[in-house]
Structure 1
Amino acid sequence: MRLWSLHPRTLDRQGLVACWRESLLAQVVLLGRTRGYTRHPQLERFRQHPEPAGALAAYLWGLHEESAVRGYRFDAGRIASAHPSDNPGLPPAPISVTDGQLRFEWAHLQSKLALRSPEQHSPGPAPQVPPAHPLFRVVVGDIAPWERP
């Protein structure tokens, strides 16, 4: 399971589709509807949020918005809660992500893109701070403790 901290626009088609599927699985886990994947490290940051399922729904909405930009038809009906803009007074609190985590994920993504989507591969050094998913607020720090490099 890979729930990218990077902005969905940085993902290739395969990455965006896989992230959507894996995020839907994560949603099922956080809603207590399965017994699998309950200890997956990628879920730690969502579990630490005051509203884990709401934060994951906001994450899914970010993926859905990128899919719409690309002309894909991800089924928004599979997201467990309303779009944050439908409830502007109560958007989920952002989740902190470190710049070190973003750089780690950028390098990981670039290695994948070099093989499967060379047209999207960005050789060379990573941006100082790669773009983050809209749910995340970037802070200074190393790779997240839940990451399994």
Structure 2
Amino acid sequence: MRIWSLHPRHLDRAGLVACWRETLLAQAVLADRTKGYRNHPQLERFRATADPLGAIGAYLSGVAAEADARGYRFDASRILRPIAPGTGRIPVTRGQLDYEWRHLGAKLERRSPPDAERWSRDAPGPHPLFTVVPGDVEAWERP
């Protein structure tokens, strides 16, 4: 499961679809609708908020907004608690964002050279739910 801290605009088509699907799974875990992935480290930052379902809903809303901007049809009715992505921001470290940026670049090189070219001209920005703070790779990341 990869719930990117990066802004969804950085993801290629495959990455955006995978992010949507994996975050819907994360939402099911947080809503106690599935038994799998309960201890997945990516969920720690959502569980640490006052409203985990609202936080994951805000994340999904940001992904759905990017999909809409690209003309994709993600079913936003699947978001249990759709909240504006800038609401109740979650901190993410600069080190985490940089780590994910390199990880994404390697993925794009393998599966999507045109997107890798676009990636090489861009700079990493966070998903609207996150605010960047100084620090190394997050403790929940399993590199």
Q: TM-score range by the shorter chain?
A: over 0.9
**Alignment-mate amino acid for residue 146 of structure 1:** W
- Equivalent of 2:141, from 115, 139, 147? 147
Task: Provide Cα deviations, 1:35-89, integer angstroms capped at 9, x if missing partner.
Answer: 110000000000001100000000000000000000000001100023438xxxx
Name the SS of the counterpart of 2:88 in structure 1. Answer: coil
Where 1:49 maps in the other structure, the secondary structure is: coil
Aligned structure 1 segments of 4 or more residues deviating by more than 4 angstroms? 122-126
Task: Give matches, 1:64-83, under 5 Å.
Answer: 64-83=64-83
CA RMSD of aligned residues (A): 1.8
Q: What is aligned with 2:27?
A: 27
Say yes or no: does 1:109 pair with 2:112.
Answer: no
Amino acid at match of 2:134: V
SS in 2 for 1:100: helix
TM-score (norm 2): 0.94
The alignment partner of 2:137 has SS state of coil
The number of aligned residues is 142
TM-score by length of 1: 0.90
Partner-residue secondary structure (3-state), 2:92: strand
- Does 2:59 correspond to 1:59? yes
Q: Which runs of 5+ in 2 are unaligned?
A: none
Distance in 1 of aligned mates of 2:120 and 2:79 = 36
